[in-house]
Chains A and B, each alone.
Chain A
Amino acid sequence: MAKKYDLQEREVWDGNFAASQALRQAQVDVVAAYPITPSTPIVENYGNYVANGYIDGEYVMVESEHAAMSGCVGASAAGGRVATATSSQGFALMVEVLYQASGMRLPIVLNVVNRALASPLNVRGDHSDMYLGRDSGWIQLDAFNAQEAYDMVLCAFRIGEHHDVRLPVMVHQDGFITSHTAQNVYPLSDEVAYNFIGDFKPVDDMLDFSRPVTYGAQTEEDWHFEHKARQHKALMDSRSVIDGVFADFEKVSGRKYSRVEAYDMEDAEVAIVALGTTVETAAVAAKELRAEEGIKAGVVAIRCFRPFPFDLVRDALEHVQSVAVLDRSSPGGAMGALFNEVSAALYTAANRPLVTNFIYGLGGRDFSVSEAKRIFKEQKAHADAGHITADIQQFSGLRGPHLGFFQTKRG
């Protein structure tokens, strides 16, 4: 029996500590991990809780992140509640096994503390690793601060382990800005948190000797397509389960979450779409701009990056005149991924706003309230002109000459 851990009603935790406390309260059976900056404290703390008797679990030391996720796959297939954490290069090394985990429908929870991908080597936060996982078949939830990192991990177990879902879930938080910044966090009691998640109920577990099963079968052109289609359908259908878990979470915590979050969007004419800590920066800028200059600015944030909330994004933005979509990942010769997905959603709306793309914050470059205001004001200029008056893709916060690509043919 695990020992009791004393919690205050209000704690001062950074995002990593908050996530590790959620792992403790979920009583995760197995964590297989190869720690990497900035996610290290999540698994380090889990190891402490196991060593000090606060979790009846197993910390498995491995020789790489590929082995870490492989260990998680094995433990999850065996029938345990499983989680781990990684960032950046470690995430990249996990990628092969991420596809195995989702294809085998194993509800592993992976904390991804977002960090830039080398080269050049960088330990700071951007969304390169989050974007690298976007086709891996995992549910991807995004936390914008430490409180949400804690809340999303609790929700992630409920969502992934739901028998209608049975999919692995990533919980993202921004490296350092969220992971290493101590903030007020209001945890649930151990009893409330555990009862919210519930006991792990395995399906097709390999340790059920009355029903031996094969995991990881080979399928060629005769079966592979059908299996991937069923997996995609499960991911798309997880949307209603996520909504239900968020509704249940509000009942126990008083904190309300949605797959798409909106700030000051009721009457907004211009909007920023963003992920991670940038959401809060942009929300502050929108409030100030409304007070200072009367610009009706708002923010739309993607809480659930996968499955992508195509219809909710469209609903949130279709009455806006101009939208700036912010991508914190080097787009590698294309428009930013979030820009592409938001644009596709808005293309099917009755009223199509102007949409522009900003690449920003790579390698942890700061994104300030004043830069968010500048972007809002530029959207206002597009809206007043009736067409995009700048390059469609621009780099924000970059030293040197202006860098931008493509011009509009509308208007």
Chain B
Amino acid sequence: MQDLNLLANDNRGQTDLGNSSCLVGWDEVTQGTILESFEGDATGIVQKKAEERSYSNFNSYTATVASWRVKKPVFNIDVCIDCQNCWVWCPDSSILSRDKQMLGIDYDHCKGCEVCAEVCPTNPKSLLMFSEYTPLDEALSQWPEKKKKEEK
């Protein structure tokens, strides 16, 4: 099962636009709505892994943008062959992979588009769609068996 604590950035999802204490006046907003992506000097940041980077609060990495997802992909590590097909196809960079090892889904940014489940080549699939409210362990307990060739 995916470790949900493994991937979370410390300040991810903390930006609450409805909280008036976060809202500054017209004289304090940045000129030209030009927003910094990182805190401090970002030289060489491309060499760092996402969880090591100092993303700023303006960066979409630190906000959850998945609120309209109704179905979520669930990742089954026991079936996955680390082919990286889902990582290539995901339109929101929400497949988390390190050293070509598939780790799971970034649920803060996944929109539930199903592309990953569609392109997964294993039998049974290593990524399947479940209702947003299905717990991960319950989803994994319902995983289908490998299809036999005569069943085609």
Contact = CB atoms under 8 A, between A and B. Distances in A.
B23 interface: yes
A211 B36 contact: yes
B88 interface: no
Contacts of A204: 31-32, 34
Contact of A215 (B17, B26, B34): B34
Contacts of B33: 103-104, 216-217, 219, 223, 227
B42 A211 contact: yes
26 contacts: A103-B32, A103-B33, A166-B32, A204-B32, A204-B34, A210-B43, A211-B41, A211-B42, A212-B45, A213-B35, A214-B34, A214-B58, A215-B32, A217-B58, A219-B33, A222-B17, A222-B23, A223-B29, A226-B29, A227-B29, A227-B33, A229-B26, A230-B26, A230-B27, A231-B32, A234-B31
A212 B32 contact: no
Interface string B14-40: 000100000111110101111111100
Interface in A63-96: none
Given A209-B42, A226-B29, A227-B29, A214 B23 contact: no
Interface in B98-123: none
Contacts of A211: 36, 38, 41-42
Contacts of B29: 223, 226-227, 230
Nearest to A234: B31
B42 A210 contact: yes
Contacts of B37: 212-214
A173 B3 CA distance: 66
Interface of B: 17, 23-27, 29, 31-38, 41-43, 45, 58-59
Contacts of A19: none
Contacts of B27: 230, 233
Nearest to B58: A214
Contacts of B32: 103-106, 166, 204, 215, 231
A106 B32 CA distance: 8
A103 B31 CA distance: 9
B8 to A, nearest CB: 22
A230 B34 CA distance: 13
A233 to B, nearest CB: 7
Contacts of B59: 214
A118 B45 CA distance: 52
Contacts, number: 67
A164 to B, nearest CB: 10
Nearest to A104: B32
B37 to A, nearest CB: 4
Interface residues on A, range: 20 to 34
Nearest to A208: B42
A393 B25 CA distance: 43
A105 B30 CA distance: 11
Contacts of B24: 226
Given A210-B42, A214-B36, A214-B58, 5 more contacts: A166-B32, A213-B34, A214-B34, A216-B33, A231-B32
Contacts of A215: 32, 34
B89 to A, nearest CB: 25
A212 B38 contact: yes
A230 B27 CA distance: 6
Contact of A226 (B25, B41, B58): B25
Most chain B Cβ neighbours within 10 Å, of A106, A223, A233: A223
B23 to A, nearest CB: 7
A108 to B, nearest CB: 13
A209 B31 contact: no
Contacts of B17: 222
Contacts of A214: 34-37, 58-59
A188 to B, nearest CB: 31
Indicate the member of A204, A212, A222, A231 with the most B CB atoms within 10 Å: A212
A336 B88 CA distance: 58
B35 A217 contact: yes
Name the residue in B23, B25, B31, B37 with the highest tally of chain A Cβ atoms < 10 Å from its Cβ: B31
Nearest to B25: A226
A223 B26 CA distance: 9
B11 to A, nearest CB: 17
